[in-house]
Structure 1
Amino acid sequence: MTDTARWKSTVYVGGLAPVVTTGNLHDAFIPFGEIADVALPKNENPNAADPHRGFAYVEFEDAEDAKEAIDNMDQSELFGRVIKVSAAKVPKSSTSGLGAKTALWEQEGWLAENAVGEEDRQAADQSENTRAEDPMQGLEGLDLAGPKPE
């Protein structure tokens, strides 16, 4: 299964109570279809009271099952908390796009998409050559700044 297909069959579950486990999530979401994986990111702070970060990802075998889970579980209650269930977003890469650790113009595809081609240069040269000789042309009759003579 490709990465894109995996993300289409994955749901984000937010607002989880600290007592929720991967087993609880599996049991809550199994009615909607075969589950491939449940990820409950651990709290990065070792001194934190909560064992996880309050959200999870549930990956289904089929994208249709993920849609069914969203339709049925969003805004439902799990362990005394109203949970948010939505389509998971593909995580941003740290090497491409805005927010990357590499300058935009140094990223692989950027130059290919944004480089000025020879045709563009020729069109720019032609438009420069057809410009009016008098830089004031078209400005006749405009009021100049300053006090009006009396």
Structure 2
Amino acid sequence: MTIYVGNLSYQATKEDVSDVFTEYGTVKRVQLPTDRETGRMRGFAFVDMEDESQEDAAIQALDEAEWMGRVLKVNKAKPREERSPGGGRASKSRY
């Protein structure tokens, strides 16, 4: 399972996020998605930990905690929704 971390400071690094979550167990991976056009961080992260009990402990401790001047939103990540190719809106038929 993956943890979603929202409302992150734009100054947070992978190392910063990993350090915070390491207090609750072994961090396997941290992802900080960036905007494709600007390259700026998007203000959220995904964290994978060693096991579910560690993830639960981190979520319990860090959800709504203040960190780097922001109140974090931490929960289990939802599966990514499948998107249709092209990224545009579905066109409505006029007939």
Classify the TM-score, shorter chain.
0.7 to 0.9
Aligned equivalents of 1:93 and 1:75: distance in 2?
Answer: 29
- 2:3 alignment partner, SS class: strand
* Alignment match, 1:75: 64
* Alignment match, 1:23: 15
Q: So what's the TM-score if we normalise by structure 2?
A: 0.82
Q: How does 1:49-128 map to 2 (within 5 A)?
A: 51-94=40-83, 100=84
* Stretches of structure 1 lacking an aligned partner (at least 5 in a row): 1-7, 95-99, 102-150
- Does 2:28 correspond to 1:39? no
What code does the residue aligned with 2:69 have?
Answer: G
Query: Shift in Å at residue 64 of structure 1?
Result: 1.3
Structure 1 runs, 4 residues or longer, greater than 4 Å off? none
The two structures, once aligned, show a CA RMSD in angstroms of 1.4
Counting helix residues as a fraction of each chain, which structure ranks higher?
1
Aligned equivalents of 1:87 and 1:41: distance in 2?
Answer: 17
Aligned equivalents of 1:45 and 1:74: distance in 2?
Answer: 30
Query: Shift in Å at residue 91 of structure 1?
Result: 0.5
Counting strand residues as a fraction of each chain, which structure ranks higher?
2
Aligned equivalents of 2:41 and 2:74: distance in 1?
Answer: 17
Aligned residues: 85
What code does the residue aligned with 2:71 have?
Answer: V
Query: Shift in Å at residue 42 of structure 1?
Result: 1.1
Deviation digits for residues 66-100 of structure 1 (CA, Å, limit 9, x no counterpart): 11111000000111111100101111123xxxxx4
